[in-house]
Structure 1
Amino acid sequence: MSNVTEELLQEFKDRLHISHKSEDSHLKRLLSFSYADISDKCGSFSLETANPGKELVLERSRYAYNDALEYFNDNFLSQINSFALSNLPDEEAVDETEQV
């Protein structure tokens, strides 16, 4: 759950119109599991800035919260593929790490 900041949690709660704190630990787990899933498919990325990966984490968490996770991959397949391709490491960076 180290990737889940209080700011990300609050952004997620705002999206779902949740104003109480009683579900915070559950919501943090959903966000953490969603980050792990998206980063496993697309490579690691930052949740600190707005990017397609962060949006996918928030959407996957929303699906999980609403017990509809089985629909997420089909509904967001295009966005997942696009983000995975755009998140590939630069070829030059890969070459430099291989030479070390």
Structure 2
Amino acid sequence: MHISHTSEDDNLKRLLSFSAIAIKSSCGEFDIYGEKDTDVRGKELVFERTRYVYNDALEYFEDNFLSQITSLGISLIPESDEDATI
């Protein structure tokens, strides 16, 4: 999104916040400001989901990013939970 004015800042912040909550709910906790692989991947999904919401196309987000969402979710499973399923 190439927005060169500040009139939509509040709306974009709100959309980013909603997207962060949605991705964390689907995948697990990550640090949006962190630099670990899972943090960066989580942040990217937040930006992509926000882009879809902004362009009124949210219904296509999960289908288009299903492999990334699933991969991040698997990466965020705590090791103790992984051991319990074996």
TM-score category (smaller protein):
0.7 to 0.9
Task: Tell me which residue corresponds to 1:76.
Answer: 65
Q: How does 1:21-100 map to 2 (within 5 A)?
A: 21-50=6-35, 51-91=40-80
Q: Which has the higher contact order (CA 8 A, sep 6+)?
A: 2
Which entry has the higher C-alpha Rg, 1 or 2?
1
Cα RMSD (Å) of the superposition? 1.6
Aligned length: 78
In structure 1, the gaps of 5 or more residues are 1-15, 96-100
In structure 2, the gaps of 5 or more residues are none
Q: TM-score under structure 2 normalisation? A: 0.84
* Alignment-mate amino acid for residue 21 of structure 2: A
What's the offset of the Cα at 1:49? Answer: 3.0
Identity %: 59
Which 4+ runs in 1 deviate beyond 2 A?
none
